[in-house]
Amino acid sequence: MRSGFRWRQGAGDVARGGSPGARRIAWPRTLAAKRNARLRSEHLRFVHEEARGGVLHCFVLDCSHSMLAGHQLALAKGLLVALFDQARATRSEVALVCFGGVGADVRFGPAVPRWWIERWLAPVGGGGGTPFVLGIETASALLERAARLKPAQQRWLWILSDGRSSGSPSRPASADHVVLVDFEQVERVRIGRCEQIAKAWDGLHLTPQQLIG
């Protein structure tokens, strides 16, 4: 899983004659711009100056029973490891909220992830119902606390789910950007809920395949 993940940090800077790392690529917006095309320089989007106060990526992981089908939870955890690795490389903070069964809880952070995060994430299991609203409310409370402590920080909310849940939570007010990573399987009758939420929340809708190079 990790070997197939490519961030290509600094590619746009080299193409423009700069040095790698001179500007940081905003990968969710870049991936949304390129869609299914080969990555080109015109697709690149960069982190704005507001991010100088630091960045927090809050990940909300759906650990419900439906995510076990087709090993979608395992795929989501592999993506998280790669995303945590990127956050560590850029000294960004991360937080992880897991929801499943009848509850939701903060499993990590906010903090810069460490080298042991992969071993720590491996035993996270799944099963039970999908308390989606509770998961989003838990993440919203975390982001609100972060906003009070570090008001200049840029805050990203990532939701990794198949969208097979009920309830309509409100968009967390303290999230500057929202990304829905849609794990709904194509062979099942699609409900398209992740895409609907992304549109309602003015967020990005991505598939796992768009995050795997």
pLDDT tens-digit readout, 46-102? 665 445 678 999 999 998 888 888 788 889 988 888 888 888 888 899 999 998 887
pLDDT score of 42 more than 80: no
Q: What is the rounded CA–CA span in Å between residue 9 and residue 24?
A: 7
Any domain includes 140:
yes
Q: Is 133 left (phi over 0), alpha (psi -120 to 50) or beta?
A: alpha
Question: Which pLDDT band holds residue 171 (cuts at 50, 70, 90)?
Answer: very high
* Contact yes or no for 128/100 (Cβ under 8 A): yes
pLDDT of res. 22:
43
pLDDT at 21 (0 to 100): 41
Range of the domain at 152: 52-211
38 within some domain: no
* Single pTM value for the model: 0.76
Q: Given this model, what pLDDT does residue 159 score? A: 96
Q: Residue 79: inside a domain, yes or no? A: yes
Domain membership of residue 43 (yes or no) is no
Report if residue 141 sits inside a domain. Answer: yes
Residue at 42 is within a domain: no
Q: What's residue 166's pLDDT?
A: 74
Task: Tell whether 4 is covered by a domain.
Answer: no
More confident residue, 42 or 89: 89
- CB-based burial, 109-118: b 16+ in 10 Å, e otherwise: bbeebeeebb
The answer as to whether 16 is a domain residue is: no
Question: Is the separation of the CB atoms in 22 and 13 below 8 Å?
Answer: yes
Higher pLDDT, 101 or 106: 106
